[in-house]
Amino acid sequence: MADTATDQAFVEFERVQKSYDGEILVVKDLNLSMPKGEFLTMLGPSGSGKTTCLMMLAGFETATHGEIKLDGRPINNIPPHKRGIGMVFQNYALFPHMTVAENLSFPLEVRKIGKSEREEKVMRALGMVQMQDFAGRRPAQLSGGQQQRIALSRALVFEPELVLMDEPLGALDKQLRETLQFEITNLAHDLGITTVYVTHDQTEALTMSDRVAVFDDGRIQQLAPPDELYEEPQNSFVAQFIGENNTLMGTVSKINGDRCEVTLDGGEIIDAKPVNVSEVGQRTRVSIRPERVEMNKERLQPDVHTLRAEVLEFIYMGDIFRTRLRVAGNDDFVIKTRNAPDQVRLTPGTQIEIGWLPQDCRALDA
């Protein structure tokens, strides 16, 4: 599941394990390799080990086992201040007793850079986030979004090649978050910096990243570009964690290459694409995205199985309609349809027939 190390890997985790108490492994056998310039997001529920990984990379935690390499050099024994990694924290961590300019100047001062050069770099870094006018303010006089911009430019001012971001937008409101997501990705790509971004917000992960590593239970469950992650989840955790998802339980009854038939617990038969199943008789959890469910029989392939469904609820959401159905004993089966002029609005109690393209329905681990 994890990427294999490549020659041009810039950041590498090799069989990294981490335990805090000697009993439970928070990070279990982590292997990860990032090329230079990549924007990689670590996504996962809290306690999944993603922040621990970030802290090990930054040097604030030591790996219990395994090796972390930066640009080919093992950095396990290098203290954080010598790693030269920029970092943006969730609570911004701007030093409250210093002005914005002093905050930005701090990493340059400790690097013993001359005053004039310092000032020039500080103004340039502030310029990158359009905050030149705020150089003399204290962090407390800035809004959350402004603080995060400053924190970002502080992490970039000493021109690190790797920047780590620990849920940097977690405390901001939705609109600001979206603006900043855009700004951060643009900046990262323009400057060519390698970025490791930690978040538990899947939208953020999908919109910003080159690749997303989905963490759960101390392991990377899937490492893939956003579209692949959404459309081709490798296991039921990823399928359920990323986006909205309908699941049905059943048993594989027939396998034929990249198509299989699954007999649901109620006896209905559906078509699916085998992903985590390999033989007949295996228990499986099939997963189908709400927007891939089709109600119009004419658009389905003639030979596919269909299911009967009863409309339980119709929710008007503006751009889309969300219809909740009872399908094969599952009351939470949701379909999403676009608010198109010819789209019917289903009333509760209506009996309909639904189906899907076999490749959109993935038979995953139970």
Partner 1 sequence: MAEAMLAADGTPLKRSLARALRRQKLRALALIAPLLLFVLITFIVPIASMLFRSVENEIVANTLPYTVEALADWDATGTDLPSDATFEAMFYDMFIAAEAKRHTRLGTRLNYETTGVSSLFRQSGRRMDDVADISYEPLEDLDKAWDDGATWYALFNASGDADQALLSEQRGRVARLSGSDASADINFAPDAQAAALLPLAAREYTAWAVYVATQDNRDPAERDPWEAVAPALVTDLQTADLSGYSGPMADMLRTAQQANLTVPNFTREFADMDEDWATLEPWQTIQTHAGTYTPGYFLNAIDAQKTPEGIAWQPEEKQILLTLFGRTIWMSLLITFSCIALGYPIAWLLANLPMRKANVLLILVLLPFWTSLLVRTSAWKVMLQQQGVINDVLVWVGLVADDGRLIMINNQFGTIVAMTHILLPFMILPMYSVMQTIPPSYLRAAKSLGATNWTAFWRVYFPQSVPGIGAGSILVFILSIGYYITPEIVGGTKGVFISNRIAYHISSSLNWGLAAALGTILLAAVLVLYWAYDKIVGIDNVKLG
Binding site for partner 1 (CB under 8 A): 58-60, 79-87, 89-91, 93, 95-97, 106-107, 110-111, 154-155, 158, 164
Least distance in Å: CB of 90 to partner 1?
8
Q: How far apart are CA 8 and CA 70, in angstroms?
A: 11
From the list 102, 50, 88, the residue with the least C-alpha distance to 171 is: 88
Least distance in Å: CB of 93 to partner 1?
4
Least distance in Å: CB of 196 to partner 1?
13
Q: In this complex, which beta carbon is closest to partner 1, that of residue 115 or of residue 345?
A: 115
Q: In this complex, which beta carbon is closest to partner 1, that of residue 107 or of residue 233?
A: 107
Which phi and psi angles does 277 have, rounded to 5°? -115, 145
Q: In this complex, which beta carbon is closest to partner 1, that of residue 82 or of residue 299?
A: 82
Q: In this complex, which beta carbon is closest to partner 1, that of residue 112 or of residue 299?
A: 112
Q: How far apart are CA 276 and CA 231, in angstroms?
A: 15
Least distance in Å: CB of 168 to partner 1?
12
Least distance in Å: CB of 11 to partner 1?
15
Least distance in Å: CB of 106 to partner 1?
6
Helix (H) or strand (E) holding 262: strand 259-264
Rg of the chain taking only CA atoms, in angstroms: 25
Q: In this complex, which beta carbon is closest to partner 1, that of residue 18 or of residue 83?
A: 83
Q: In this complex, which beta carbon is closest to partner 1, that of residue 197 or of residue 230?
A: 197
Q: What Cα–Cα distance (Å) separates residue 311 from each residue in 114, 308, 314, 334, 353?
A: 71, 10, 8, 10, 10
SS (H, E, C) 8-73: CEEEEEEEEEEECCCCCEEEEEEEEEEECCCEEEEECCCCCCHHHHHHHHHCCCCCCEEEEEECCE
Q: What Cα–Cα distance (Å) separates residue 228 from each residue in 181, 210, 288, 355?
A: 20, 11, 15, 23
Q: In this complex, which beta carbon is closest to partner 1, that of residue 187 or of residue 334?
A: 187
Q: In this complex, which beta carbon is closest to partner 1, that of residue 158 or of residue 314?
A: 158
Other Cβ atoms closer than 10 A to 29: 16
Least distance in Å: CB of 92 to partner 1?
9
Dihedral sign for Cα 40, 44, 49, 52, please.
positive
Other Cβ atoms closer than 10 A to 254: 12
Q: How many residues does the chain have?
A: 366
36: left (phi over 0), alpha (psi -120 to 50) or beta: beta
Least distance in Å: CB of 50 to partner 1?
17
